[in-house]
Each structure stands twice: as structure tokens, then as C-alpha cells.
Structure 1
Amino acid sequence: MQVLTYVDAAKRFAEADAESKSGSAPRMPDSPRVSQALRRSSLHKAVEKGDIEAVKSMLAEESDVNATRYGGMTPLHFAAAGGDTGIFRMLMEAGARPDLKNNGGMTPLHLAAYSNRIDIVNMLIDAGADVHVTNYGRKTSSQLAVDKCHVDVAKILSEAESG
């Protein structure tokens, strides 16, 4: 039996979504609701691809930076897990909320710790992310880092927890 991490599952959902929209879908009617949904979808995809110019453009068009998709994942969740550091900064400057949980109870800090993203972990701590919050498995970001043997991230988070 194959065990998927939450990040792996989110990526598989994204791939399945992309395949289902490979151009054979009928044109959707123009409406504010459809337009907002497409913008939300596009921002997530631009973050996943690391397309900094597309992200800039969508943020300038006031795309909802905290919109959820793929199991409650925000664009910041994707950027924290494996995206571009510059895009991560842009999302934070645009008002992305660092303590939003996805459907698994994971915050961007959990995903950054799990993915060994020291730079992102430091930025989230500096932005005031709650280092004590637990996911639905009752694990803090520090505990996830320890579980994955990410020693440097675990040390940073442990210091933040005690400070």
C-alpha cells in the first residue's frame, strides 16, 4: 500500500485537475462567479509553475490571494511547500494569511517545515506565523521537521517555540 504525504496528494489533485481541463472542456459562460473562479484557479497554477510574471499580473488584478483550492490549499501553501521564494514574498506582501489551514489542518509553516524550506520557515516566523499550531494529526511544524529529520528547520522552530 502506497502512503501519500499531503503535499503529494495535493500535487496529484492539481495534475488531475490540469488533465481534466486540457482544452476539450466546453467554454464556460462569462459571469462574475466564473471569472473569479478562473482567476483563483489561475493564481494557484501560476504559483505552482513558478511563473512570477503571471503571479504579479494576477495580484495586480486583485486576485484573491487567500482563495482555497486542492484540498483547502491557498497559493501560499503551494509556495511554502516548494515554490519560488520571490513568489512567496509577493503573496505575503499582497496579504496572504500565513495561519490558514488546509483540509488536513496544515498551515504554510507546516508545509515549509515538512519540505525543509529553511528560507520560507524563517520568513513565516518573521511574519508572525504561530509556531504552536497543530495540524489535524496533532503535530506542530517542529514535530513534522523532526519526523522528516530536517535538523536545521527543527532547530529554528524549536527556538521560536521557546522564545
Structure 2
Amino acid sequence: MTELHQAAAAGDVDRVEQILQHSKCNPDERDIDWSHKTPLHWAAAKGHAETVRVLIEHGARPCLKTEHGWTPAHFAAESGRLTVLRLLHSLHAPIDREDCCGDKPARIAEIYGHQDCVRFLQRAEIECQAYRRMAAQKGISVDDSDDEWTEQGKGNERNNPQT
């Protein structure tokens, strides 16, 4: 776990900003000891909305997934962090992506009983999809996929064929 991961998990927004301003750490570095979580995953899980905002402003990608396919939105949904979910949505983060089991953040929020998050995510999913369609029509680039995670999944399929 890097210093940036630790600061993000603690919600130490001043330290996060300091680390990022001095380019001491890649905001998208994945921690292999913690399921490939990025600092953004930690901040979202802990409900540190200001830290989430600062990380994204410094280039953190909210579409990156852990080894199980969870985005920062999944972690925010699991812990009922509605403020973080609203922020992610306002920044056009993909809040409607499925994990490796086919669960979207709305389903995770439902499993953990966060009905306010479920209601928000159900509406936000529709808006997220509409935004992607509009962006595609207008030629606006949208950063909403994790190619590295997709490639890892394909590699796992090749190494573990179903019999």
C-alpha cells in the first residue's frame, strides 16, 4: 500500500493533494496486496467525498476495477456512501458497470440494505447510459472502461478453460 493509498483511505485530503502535486505517486496505482484497489477505491469505500474529488481532479480514473471487478462506485454502494455516489455520477463516472459476478453498484447497495443508494443508483444508471449515448453521438471521449481488467479476465479464461 502506497502513501497515497493510505492518505486516501484515511481521508487526509491535504496529504493526498500534497502527494499528487509533487507527483510522488500515480493516482491509479493498483495495490496488489489489496485486490488491486486504487487510492480512489479506498476513498470511495470510506466515504471521503472531498478526497474522491481531488483524486479525480488529479487524473484518477473512476472506471478502474479491482481484481473482482469492483469500481469505486461498488465500494461506495457497499458502505452506503450516497454523497460519494452522487459525486461520482456528477463527474460522469461509470456507476453502472458489472463486477465479475454480474452485479452493478445498485445491486450491491441492495444487498447491504442501503435503500437510499439503491433509489439513487437506479435513476443514475439511466442517466449514465444516456450520457454515454449522447457522448458517442457528439464524438466526446468517455473514459468508462478498464482495458487492463478486461485483458486479465481474458487471460484467466485462456488459463482456466471450462470443461
Judge same fold: TM > 0.5, yes or no.
yes
RMSD, aligned α-carbons:
1.3
Equivalence for 2:27: 65
CA distance in 1, matches of 2:61, 2:69: 14
Equivalence for 1:56: 17
Describe the superposition over 1:64-101 as per-residue Cα deviations: whole angstroms up to 9, x where unpaired: 10111021100000000004222111101111111100
Q: Moved runs in structure 1, 4+ residues, more than 6 A?
A: none
Instruction: Point out where structure 1 has 5 or more consecutive residues left out of the alignment.
Output: 1-13, 15-40
Greater RCO structure (CA 8 Å; 6+ sep): 2
Question: What is the one-letter code of the residue matched to 1:155?
Answer: R
Farther-moved stretch of structure 1 (148-157 vs 78-87): 78-87
Equivalence for 2:84: 120
Question: What is the one-letter code of the residue matched to 1:61?
Answer: H
Identity of aligned residues (%): 32
Farther-moved stretch of structure 1 (151-160 vs 46-55): 46-55
Q: TM-score, normalised by structure 1?
A: 0.72
CA distance in 2, matches of 1:52, 1:120: 14
CA distance in 1, matches of 2:72, 2:10: 17
CA contact (8 A) 2:49 2:87 kept: no
CA distance in 2, matches of 1:51, 1:153: 25
Question: What is the one-letter code of the residue matched to 2:72?
Answer: P
CA distance in 2, matches of 1:77, 1:138: 19
Equivalence for 1:130: 94
Partner-residue secondary structure (3-state), 1:65: coil
Instruction: Point out where structure 2 has 5 or more consecutive residues left out of the alignment.
Output: 128-163
| 1:92 correspondence with 2:53 | no
